[in-house]
Each structure stands twice: as C-alpha cells, then as structure tokens.
Chains A and B, each alone.
Chain A
C-alpha cells in the first residue's frame, strides 16, 4: 500500500471533538481514568487511552484581534522516527502507509523501564497505558485502512467539516499547498506544520495552521 497522509486543516476545525470520540470507538478505548468523576481535564493532553486530542488556544495578534486556535494533537508519524530508533525491543515498526506503529506483542515497558520512546519523541507522543501495561499512540488506523474497503482513518471519517482528510501522499501534499495558498490572503501567518525537512523527515501527518507555531505552544523548528 502506498504512502498516505493525514491532513488537518485547522482553519476548518470547530472543536467539536468528533475525531476524539471516533478514535476511542475504533480503538475500543475506555473513558479517561478520573474524568468520569467529574473533573475537567484542563488542559487536555494525550494519554495511553487517548491517542488524539483537540487542544484549544486563545491568540491575540499584534492589532489586538482575539482568535481561537484549535490543534488536533496526535502522533506525527515521522519518516525517520526517533522512537523506533531508541526502542531497545525494536517494537516500533514503520508500515508501508507511513504509519509508525507500536507493536503490542513486542512492546514491554517493564523490560525497558525508562520508556525511551516517550523520552525521545520530540513531540512527546507515546504514552503508557496502565490497563495494558504497554506504550500506546495513534496507529494512523493502519488496521482500518488496509482492509480494502477504501475507508479513511476513523478521525477523518468522523470529521463533519472536512478539516481532517486522508489520502495518497502526493495528492494530499499538493492539496495542502493549494489550501495554504487559499488561506494566506486571510491568514498571513498560515503555514504547514511540521516542517517537511525537520529532524524526522517528512511526516505522514500534516497540519495547516493559521498562526505561528508559538501561538499553538508548538516549539519552533520542530
């Protein structure tokens, strides 16, 4: 199967979190521990049972205009994933679609103890799942898209606005640049993220952001 890209257009996001719920349904994940007791999770973050989360930021630009920024955080699926390099058990594999997947049968944090994948990931994505005793993260739905039904990832299928789309690498990268050009007149700071020549190579997840990286609390250059 050819390489795929998940494109997330933040300018279309309404923060409804349909993607978050669909991810939990597809991956059969439970509700967050503690959340059901009525404690609001402020700020939301990735956990071992939550592979994606929509974060919201309030941004005030130089002229005082306030805007809400939504960022669907998840694994970037790097071309040269550091997590896979540092895993002593070689439990992290790169699938033909570009998905970087922690293989459950190999991952064993009790053996490597220090959870090097979590420490090494510059985006701090892999998280420990208490119930399974394993490291977990987004799989780019490799087990959903490979069944020949032509479906996209669970989050892309669930997104009501079309902010999340999924497709072949070349098509989606071209779409990303076209969309970026459309947005630039209205959002002069719009950009693609992560940089395509970053330390981990081309990622299989691309964001179109409407503001600078610092507005999303993302580290510059990564």
Chain B
C-alpha cells in the first residue's frame, strides 16, 4: 500500500520563471518536473514561517514550521533555542514526523459515537459522526447520572496531573485521576522526594560532565535532542563514558566501556561503588559535610551489610576489580555524573528499582553532582506565574473530594501520595487499574478491608491501553457495558476502539496563540510561543472540551477562558502591559522568551524540602513512613529457571514516540514490525536465524509470533524487543496489526503484590520488566 500525499500544489522551475498552475494541472506539472530530472519542488505559493514548541515527545524543542499556502511542509529546529538543539536548528526524526501526523488521513476529525453496543478487539464500533453539542450533552448526561445516583467518585479520569485535566477532575470532585507514571518514572520521583525534597529533575548538564556512569541510560539511542546534544558534547570534550546495560545500546556503543550486566542487578554495583568511595575516602568531603545528612549512618550501613565489590560480583557477574576501578575513576574525575532520565534502570522496571534510584542519588551526592556545573540541577522550571487561582478566583471553588478511596488502590500507598502533590494530584496507577476494575466488578474489597466500587464513566485523554502492562486484562474490563468510556486523542487509539464517544483533539502543530514551557534540560527559564496552524477539520483543544462538558453540567460555574488566561500569563512572564500583544512580542524575539542566568548559584541546596533541609543520604521521611531509610539489596522477583527462559528488556526505537506517530507511513517504512533481539548462542538452541519468526510465550500465558534478529551485543540470557507496535484499532490503516505489543509480554501488578513490596519499594513502581519469557521455537 503506497500512500502518497498529492494534495499539495507544486511548481516546476523552468528557466527561473514562476508560473502558476491550477490544481488540475498539478499532476501534469509534477510529471513534467520528473522528466526534468528532479522529483523535488520549489514552491510558487506563499510561504510563511511560524514558531512553535514540539509536542511529539516531552523534550519539547523549539521549532519552526514552514507553511506553504497554509500547509505545513517542513518542521525544523529553532536555531534560537540553545538548550534543546544546541543552537543548531535541528530536531529529531520524531519531531519531523509531526507534519505527516497532522495530515494523516486516519486522523480523528469529528466527534464519533459508537453504535455497536458490543465492545471488543474484533467488534466494529460502528462509528457515526455527531456534533460537538451532542457529544458534550451525551457525556454530561452520563457524568450527571453517575454523580446523582452514586457519587462523583464513580467518574474516573485517565488524565495527566497538569492544570486543565486537574481543573476538570476537581470540578467533578472525584479522587480517581489515574496516570501512567507508575509505569514510567515514579521511582525517580519518590526517591528524589525522599532524598532531596523535590520531584525528579530532568535537567542534566551533560555537556560539562567529565565522567558519565550510565545504568541503562540510552537517551542518545532514543534521539532525545537535548540529552543527545549534551551527551555528544561531553563525549566530544573527552568525557569518559561507562555504560551498564544488558545489551549494546547506542549509548553503550559510543561509550568507552560497556558491561553487559544481568538485568535487575545494577543496585548491587551501585551499593558496592558507594562502599568503595566511602571506605577509601574518595567522596567530596566538603560537599558532603555542607549539604548532606546521614553520612555516618550510610557509612555504617554499607559496611555492616557487606556491600563489597566481591559481594556485588557474586550477584551481577561483573568482576570486583572493575567495579572498584570504576568507582575510583568516577570519584576522582573532575565533574562526574551518573545520569538518569525516566525508564532507565531507575524507572519502575524491577522490584528493587526504587532502592536503585535512591542509591544512584546517593552516589551522585557523594561526588557532589547536584547543583554543580556538569551535574543534576534542581528544577527551576515553573516560569509561568501566576496560577489559575490568581486569574479566576471565583472559578476555583471546587466541591470537596468524594472520599479518598481510589479504584486503583493508590490510597493504600501513603508515601507516594505525599511525595506527589500532597494528595491533590496523582501520578498513578496504571499497573493496578485492571486489578481495581476487576475487584470492583466482583465486589471484592481492598486488602485492608475498604470496599471497592464500580466506576460508571471513564474519560481518557491521550492515553492508550497499549501503555499498560498486560493490556488484555484492562481491555477485557473496559469492554464491560456498564462503563461509559470517553476517549480524547488526536489519532485513533486502541483504547479508542472500545470507546462510546471519541473526541478529536488538536495536535501540537495546530495550537496557536498559546505558549509552552518545559522542564526538560531547563538550565534556565524559557517560554516558547506556540503559533501553529489552528484547529483543522472539526477538532478542539482539550481545554475547550473541558469547558464544553462542565458547562453542560454546571453552566458557567467552572467556565474558564483559557485563551485569555494564557495570553495574560504570557504578558506577565515577559513583563508587558495589559494591552500589549505577547504573541507579537514573541514573534519578534525568535519565538522564545528566556531568562538566562548561567551558571546558577547553588543556593537551592542550602534549603531543600527535606526535614533536615539537606540531601538526605539517610532519608528521615522514608524512616517515618516505615520504609527502609537507606537502600538495601533486594533481588529481582523472577529468576531464570530453565534454558528456554529469558530475561526481557524493552526499548523505544529512535523514530517512534510511543504511540503518537504510530501511523506515519514513512516511519513505519523504516521498521514495519518489532524484532526479538537474541544472542547467537541462544538462537542456536532453537535453530533461529535473523529474519526467522519465533513463537514466544509470556508469563501471562500469551503466545506471540515475532521476527528474530540475532545480535552479539546482548547477554545470552536476555532478549530485547521494541515498544510501539501491535495495534488492534483497524482505523489505523498503517499501524494496524504490525508486529506485537511488548506490553503483552509483561505481567501487570496487583494491589496485593505492590503492598507486599511496599516496605522496600516505597514508590509502588510496577516492576514492569521483572519477568522472564519463554521461547517456544521457530515458527
């Protein structure tokens, strides 16, 4: 199926003459141009350039859109954006794919209503287009019905904890705002809260680091611009790079040393390195005495537990001499840093990932890597005061929350609640949602005896069932006819295939008269102009949808003019008068406002949000809540027990941003199915060669067929596959049914299991990769 977009007019250059052709003639002109020897075109139509901020991934680079006759024809980086692309005016392949996502023929264009009441992967929803008013009325009726008959908590939002979704959740009064972070980076967030008193920073000044000690960190391999540039700059300046990863990632390939570590044992290495650095007095003593709390407890702890390099070798298989040597090199280097992002080893991959996060923070603290040039910087992001409350005080009289018992059981994990927004918002809990819905359907109470309850309405914004571990259990629960499912997204999604109503949201390229900020690599405050092409077809922004639904429920009561509010905030940030146009100001200033203060004064460290106001190597908060205050070694949950069992690691390709650009025909062209990467020794056991298909079975009992690629750069006991494939929504004509979903290989967690791990896994992370899969043989 060759998909080509022929709906743009093009011109052929003939002797420098600019000629205008009618749309009818454009094909002829194209053919003529091809005959001239080039298939590419200069354009005769009016061209304009607009500033925006990329929203494909959350690296949020400043970009410039090139519009030809109002059509986006090119997306490039904004050279004025020093931080994301190093001032080179580059963006990654995912950002460039946004223009194809924007004009994707499969895009959601109008609100859709389901006519087939049966739900399932193989059920045609029987979509009919409806008007926005009908859609809002229908959704409001169902929410009203749930609130009046049973209560606001019977409405569940699959929503991120950002301002507009939280406004919606608070207006409804439900405690059920369920978010993806427990499968993403919640371990980092809670460990930072316990140790540094703030949520995880993603601001790393990689470019100035002189030693990078990476554990599963592979941002260059995911082509995240800010981190990629920082990494390459550090490498270019001669920084030593050491990578621990079960497979040879792109980062490991560029490193000086790569250790193929056994999955889930990185914690042992870090504990041993801490022991070496402490016992050999290699730590930054001045920094530790000024800014750290609990050093003596830590020193006693690592020695009494016997965390020596020899002990670590017995667990992870990496020679003790290497661990000792690297610890010494790391501590002796001028500006060492152990970088972390989201789903590296510190992400919620294994049962011991939370302890790993804590240990990694301690390792960085011992060498003074926080608030230092070439280190981790405490977030200095929120650059857009004042908040909602300052501008719309009459609108924020939210009703009280309808209790605190959540369907996903997050109320049983108080440390997480405290760590994130003090219970006002949530960053969990994808991994328990299916368990919670099942529990509610069967009338089973939670382990502590609190009753569960069956939600009536679920509203999902820009999430997909694909992002859940073992999504089939969730899909089965969502097929429950008692649940009214509303899905808001830009393109069809798998969860959308099960929806009762689908609402089309604008893609970031369409957002205009707005701004964006980012906490990624925010060495200083920045605000980007978002000056896109405006909503196409019959699409709306999310805030307009929230207003539409809330106005049907409580006319005028929660109505906020987000457009005016945003313009006012932009004026405040820039310092403009009430009549001045902030959009025009930003257009005249390369689309970016920034307050460049470099290097910053490390005063942040003097007054941290921890009880001791210091970096807590011994976490008082964790101790108070009954967790281990210092990291203790715990093995991963599952071990290989047979020769045909393999540890599994997953990866994102550099060209896929999760599911967002899944339906881009040129991206699918690069790799139309995901592969199972396997070591030659393991492949030989099953007679597998590159290009063969293999049957694999997951611990959840699924049998899947996947294509094999044999590589030497992976451990013989480990296999790897990629995320972003295996979609079942038939409206995705490019992405449908290609490859397998890696989530199908991974077991979901349950509330009871997370409670069992809670004493040492204070972040209740889902231990998403803590599993083994079985290779059944050649297909």
Contact = CB atoms under 8 A, between A and B. Distances in A.
Query: Are these two chains actual partners, yes or no?
Result: yes
A184 interface: no
A181 interface: no
A134 B36 CA distance: 12
A209 interface: no
B40 A160 contact: no
B666 A104 contact: no
B1 A37 contact: yes
Interface stretch (A17-25, A72-80, A109-117): A17-25
Interface string A3-18: 0000000001011111
Contacts of A27: 39-40
Contacts of A219: none
Nearest to B709: A42
A41 B668 CA distance: 11
Contacts of A2: none
B596 interface: no
Given A21-B97, A30-B2, A35 B38 contact: no
Interface stretch (B361-369, B385-393, B517-525, B731-739): B731-739
A132 B34 contact: yes
Nearest to A159: B90
Interface stretch (A138-146, A169-177, A188-196, A200-208): A138-146
B666 A16 contact: no
A14 B221 contact: yes
B39 A31 contact: no
Contact of A32 (B38, B41, B669, B673): B669
A22 B1 contact: no
B contact patch SS: loop
Interface in A123-179: 131-132, 134, 139, 141-144, 147, 157-162
A122 interface: no
Interface residues of A, number: 53
A68 to B, nearest CB: 4
Interface residues of B, number: 55
Q: Which of B1, B672, B711 has the most CB of A within 10 A?
A: B672
A104 B38 contact: yes
Contact of B92 (A16, A35, A36): A16
Nearest to B711: A58
Contacts of A159: 90
A68 B96 CA distance: 25
A160 B225 contact: yes
A38 interface: yes
B672 A66 contact: no
A36 B96 contact: no
Nearest to B250: A14
B440 interface: no
Contacts of B673: 38-40
Contacts of B35: 104-105
Interface string B31-63: 000111111111000000000000000000000
Contact of A18 (B4, B93, B220, B737): B93
A15 B654 contact: yes
A14 B220 contact: yes
Q: Which of B3, B13, B92, B709 has the most CB of A within 10 A?
A: B92
A62 interface: no
A58 B40 contact: no
Contact of A22 (B96, B228, B709, B734): B96
Contacts of B707: 40, 42
Given A31-B2, A160-B92, 5 more contacts: A22-B96, A39-B672, A40-B673, A42-B709, A68-B248
22 contacts: A14-B250, A15-B250, A17-B670, A18-B223, A20-B670, A21-B655, A21-B666, A28-B39, A28-B40, A30-B4, A35-B668, A36-B2, A36-B669, A37-B1, A38-B738, A38-B739, A58-B713, A66-B713, A101-B37, A103-B36, A131-B2, A161-B232
8 shortest A-B CB distances, which residue pairs? Answer: A18-B93, A16-B654, A143-B38, A38-B738, A103-B37, A105-B35, A30-B2, A16-B223
